[in-house]
Each structure stands twice: as C-alpha cells, then as structure tokens.
Amino acid sequence: MEFSLTEQLFRIGQQPVTLGMLLLGAGSLFVLLVMYQVGIRRLLVRLVGYLEKEEKSRKRLLRVFRNVFLLVVIILVVVFSPLNLVLYATPKVTVSVSMIFESLLIIQFAWLFDWLLSRFIIRNYYQNREKAAPERGTTRNTSAQNPEHTASRLIQYIVYAIAILLILNYFQLDITILSFPGKEQTFDFKLSNVFAAILVLLVARLLIWVLVQLVLFGYYRKREINVGSQYAINQLLRYVIYIIAVLLALDSLGIKMTVVWGGAAALLVGVGLGLQQTFDDLISGVIILFERTVEVGDIVQVEGLLGKVSAIGLRTSVLQTQSNSTVLVPNSKLISENIINFSHQDAKTRYFISVGVAYGSDTELVKNLLLQAAEEHPQVLKNPKPLIRFTEFGNSSLNFELHFWTLDNFTIDNLRSDLRFIVDRIFREHNISIPFPQQDVWFRNPMTYTPPPPAPGPDFGQGHSPNQPFHE
C-alpha cells in the first residue's frame, strides 16, 4: 500500500489535513523538544536563578519562560506551514490556529511585564528606601492595604487590561455591546471602549501612587514637611488627576464632551439652588486644602468639642474625639466659624490648674511645691518653664494657679488630673492644708426674740405721733 504526502486524511472545517502536514508538525515538535532539553533549558534555569531568589516565584518564572519559548516556536511553525488551519469563520471574524497561540503568548508576556515592574521597580525601591533612612522607621507595612501591595495589584490589572485590548484589536474580536441611533450617525458602544475606560482609571490610580510614593516622598523627607501638609498636597493631586481621568474615560467610551458640558451647565443651575449648603461645603474643603488652616493631625475645638482631625474630605472633615468617637464636621464650619486650632502654628499649649490653701500657709513654700509637682510630670514641658500665680485672697483660702506648657493637647484632662494627684500628695507631705469653704450661720429663736426699738422718724411737728396721719 502506497502513501502519498499530499493525500488528504481528514478535514478541519474547510481546511484539508494531509499526511505531509502531520509529519511536518511532528518533526518540528521533535526538533523543538531536543533543542529545549539540550541547551535552552539550562540557560533559562541560570537566567531565572539570577533574576529571582524566592523558590516559589523562581519556579513560576521558569515555567513562564518555558511557555514563551514553546509558544514562539509553535507560532513560527504554524505560520510558515500549512498547519495554520481556520477553526471558525464569519464575515467579520476569523479564528485560526495561530491566533489561539498568539493570544496565549500575549498573556504570558503580560505576566512577565507585570513581574518585571513589580519586582524590579516597586520592591527594589522600597528596599533602597528602607536602607537609606532606617532611623526614620520607614518600614514596609505587611497588611493587605500597604502601598507596595496596592501598586502591585494596579500594575497587574493594567497589564492584563492592555493584553485584552491587544487581543481584541489585533484579532478583530471587538464586538458591539450597545448601539444607539443618532441624527448624523449610529453610536456603537463596543467591548474595547469598556476596557479602555477602565484602563484610563487604573493608569490614573497608578500615576497617583507613583507621584505620592516615589516622587513626593523624597521631597517631603528632604524638606521635612509635616503630615498635615503632605495630606493636603496629596489630596489636591488626587482630585486633579481623577477629574482628568474621568473626562478621558468618558471620551474613551465615545461620549462627546460637548454634550456633557452642555447638559451639566443646565443641570447645575437647578442643582445649585437646591444644594447651596453642599456646594458651600465643597468650596470650603478646597479652601482648607489650599490654605492649610486646618490639617490632618491638628487638635481643634469646634463648638466646644475637642477632637483630632483624622481626615479632610471635599465636603466633610472627620474628627476623632477624646472618647474615640467619630464626628463629621461640615467644612463650612471650619471656614466661617471661630475654630480653636491648638496645632496651627505651635504644637505646645499652656494650661493651668487652680488650688487653694489655708490662711496662714507659707506662700513661698506653696509656690515651690507647685513647681515641684509640675517638674515631676513627664508631659509638662521644661521650656517654657511653669509659673505660679497668686490669684486672690478668697473667702476661705489663698488661691493659686499652676500654669504649665504641654504638647499633649488631646488628653489634657488626664494630665490635669495627674497634676492634682501630685499636688495633693506633696501638700500632705509638707502639712499644707487645702481648706473647704466655711460659713457662720446664725439662727433666731422667735420665743426669745426682742425686736429693736423703732428708728426715729422725721419731725412732723410738736405733739404729732409718727403712727398718725399728717394733715396740713
């Protein structure tokens, strides 16, 4: 029985498969496997060992390199041989064998690109930053929300979004999801538009991370900018980039911005009348971030409420009170009302406690004992020095005030309580008494009470009694 290399064995779709095609494919795969086992595998092992030190990541990286090599060779064999069979065909879409392998190759390259950015840019940068400033405690956070983890995930999403867009466009697999008829032309909402909009937002998020963590971090550390100013700059940067990104995302979806601006102008007229207070808060939030009169970490008192500013949003600011409760304060209150900011220019603040001693006490000794009590407390600053004021001679005591400076504005009530404990102990040790209010009370007994004689009245004339009416 004779066999011909051009003899057709079977068909795949409309493509006939001959014996020569099968032999060529089998021979190509055999040569590929021999080349890989003889030399290329050893080179890949050395290259991966040089690039990656972790065992688990090294195995995965080696597997990806091996897949890339195999896919490249398979694509070359398929393209330059009759094996590139058409698996599916329509008037708009044609799927062949080479397209499948090329799609897999794009995905493998996407993983390599993700690994390259994550390992060599993000991780190495954090390691160098930790070595450069260990005294500042710059350590990587191991939680799931740390900046390094966030950047790695963003890079992964961006890379795979780009890979999907390449596959859709290169192989003409982009399909229309929705179609809206217009006056001039029909608007087609395609699958690639969705991924393009998502890609724009992801790139904007990654750009913010790069600017905050890589670019501005060194500037903040060099200029020694406080945390509140850093937060304000970062928030303004986020608002600007996100606004631009949203506009670009809408444009990627095919939405005409002229239509958006025209509709927004008409809408804002009505919305502005009903949301005047909301817009007031929004503008106030932008003013606060620019002027930095109130910053994150400041201790402020709003309408008698003392709290620490934990976040400043566009509409509201978040205060953490002494009882660890959260209070949302509209930004307009921080602009239009009188706010006490204990941390605006100088973090230290002066407070005082009052105490009274008994009459006859040695006032100089009292002054020295109060200064000693201030020196014993570690949260009372040595400079400026505490001072004692002799305020008044009270009804039952000699009244003094101990004025002191501290940085602990948030828990000042606890500090005052500690000082009172210390003052009480020191006064007891030196026999200084703190008197309680005293008052003499007189009781009248109606049984033995004798009214005083009446006071002499005016001279109404001779023989006239004061109790009688006077007539001219």
Q: Which of 153-167, 250-264, 387-401 has the highest mean pLDDT?
A: 387-401
Residue 465: per-residue pLDDT: 47
Mean pLDDT of 199-216: 85
What is the dihedral sign for C-alpha 446, 452, 454, 455? negative
Helix, coil or strand: residue 327: strand
Please tell me the least confidently modeled range out of 29-43, 47-61, 457-471.
457-471
The pTM of this model reads 0.54
Mean pLDDT of 398-419: 91
In a domain, 290, yes or no: yes
Report whether pLDDT(403) > 80.
yes
Tell whether 296 and 393 lie within a shared domain.
no
Q: Show which of 130, 159, 179 is a domain's final residue.
A: 130
Tell whether 106 and 10 lie within a shared domain.
yes
The CA distance from 417 to 147, in Å, is: 41
**pLDDT band of 355, cuts 50, 70, 90:** very high
Residue of 379, 385, 371 lying closest to 426 (CA atoms) = 371
Report whether pLDDT(38) > 70.
no
In a domain, 148, yes or no: no
Tell whether 8 and 110 lie within a shared domain.
yes
The CA distance from 25 to 37, in Å, is: 19
Residue 468: per-residue pLDDT: 47
Q: Show which of 323, 341, 359 is a domain's final residue.
A: 341
The distance from CA 14 to its chain's CA centroid, rounded to whole angstroms, is: 59
Tell whether 16 and 87 lie within a shared domain.
yes
Specify whether the CB–CB gap between 154 and 205 falls below 8 A: yes
Mean pLDDT of 30-48: 64
Percentage of the chain lying above the pLDDT 70 cut: 64
In a domain, 264, yes or no: no
Please tell me the least confidently modeled range out of 34-43, 301-310, 347-356, 416-425.
34-43
Residue 1: per-residue pLDDT: 45
Specify whether the CB–CB gap between 130 and 138 falls below 8 A: yes
Mean pLDDT of 38-50: 62
CATH number for the domain harbouring residue 423: 3.30.70.100
Report whether pLDDT(86) > 90.
no
In a domain, 257, yes or no: no
Domain range for residue 386? Answer: 349-429
In a domain, 30, yes or no: yes
Tell whether 296 and 417 lie within a shared domain.
no
Tell whether 399 and 322 lie within a shared domain.
no
Q: Show which of 322, 341, 360 is a domain's final residue.
A: 341
Residue 183: per-residue pLDDT: 58
Q: CA distances (Å), 254 to each of 193, 196, 244, 260, in order?
A: 7, 10, 16, 12
- When comparing pLDDT for 185 and 149, which is higher? 149
Q: How many domains does the chain have?
A: 3
Residue 143: per-residue pLDDT: 37
Residue of 195, 310, 208, 299 lying closest to 252 (CA atoms) = 195
Residue 472: per-residue pLDDT: 40
Tell whether 70 and 97 lie within a shared domain.
yes
Report whether pLDDT(2) > 70.
no
Tokens 């001693």 sit at which residue? 357
**pLDDT band of 14, cuts 50, 70, 90:** low
Residue 104: per-residue pLDDT: 83
In a domain, 94, yes or no: yes
Report the 10 Å Cβ neighbour count for 398. 19
Tell whether 299 and 423 lie within a shared domain.
no
Tell whether 292 and 333 lie within a shared domain.
yes
Residue 229: per-residue pLDDT: 72
CATH number for the domain harbouring residue 330: 2.30.30.60
Percentage of the chain lying above the pLDDT 90 cut: 15
Strands (DSSP E) contained in 185-295 are 187-190
Helices and strands in the chain: count of H runs, count of E runs: 14, 14
φ/ψ bin of 200: left (φ > 0), alpha (ψ from -120 to 50), beta (otherwise): alpha
Residue 258: per-residue pLDDT: 63
Mean pLDDT of 34-57: 64
Residue of 108, 45, 41 lying closest to 71 (CA atoms) = 108
Across the chain, mean pLDDT equals 75
The CA distance from 37 to 292, in Å, is: 65
In a domain, 188, yes or no: no
Tell whether 328 and 353 lie within a shared domain.
no
Report whether pLDDT(425) > 90.
yes
Q: What is the pLDDT of residues 268-302, one digit of tens each?
A: 665 555 567 777 777 788 788 777 788 888 888 88
Query: What long-range pairs does 434-440 form, CB within 8 A, spacing at least 24?
Result: 434/355, 434/356, 434/357, 434/358, 434/397, 435/356, 435/357, 435/358, 435/359, 435/396, 435/397, 436/396, 437/395, 437/396, 438/396
Tell whether 298 and 421 lie within a shared domain.
no
Q: Kindly report the backbone phi and psi dihedral angles of residue 20, in degrees, each rounded to the nearest multiple of 5, phi listed first.
A: -65, -35
Report whether pLDDT(232) > 50.
yes
In a domain, 151, yes or no: no
Helix, coil or strand: residue 89: strand
Please tell me the least confidently modeled range out of 164-173, 209-218, 374-383, 439-448.
439-448
What is the dihedral sign for C-alpha 295, 296, 301, 303? positive
Name the strand (E) or helix (H) holding 320. Answer: strand 316-321
Residue 134: per-residue pLDDT: 46
Q: Which of 57-61, 202-206, 324-328, 369-373 has the highest mean pLDDT?
A: 369-373
Residue 12: per-residue pLDDT: 56
Tell whether 277 and 393 lie within a shared domain.
no
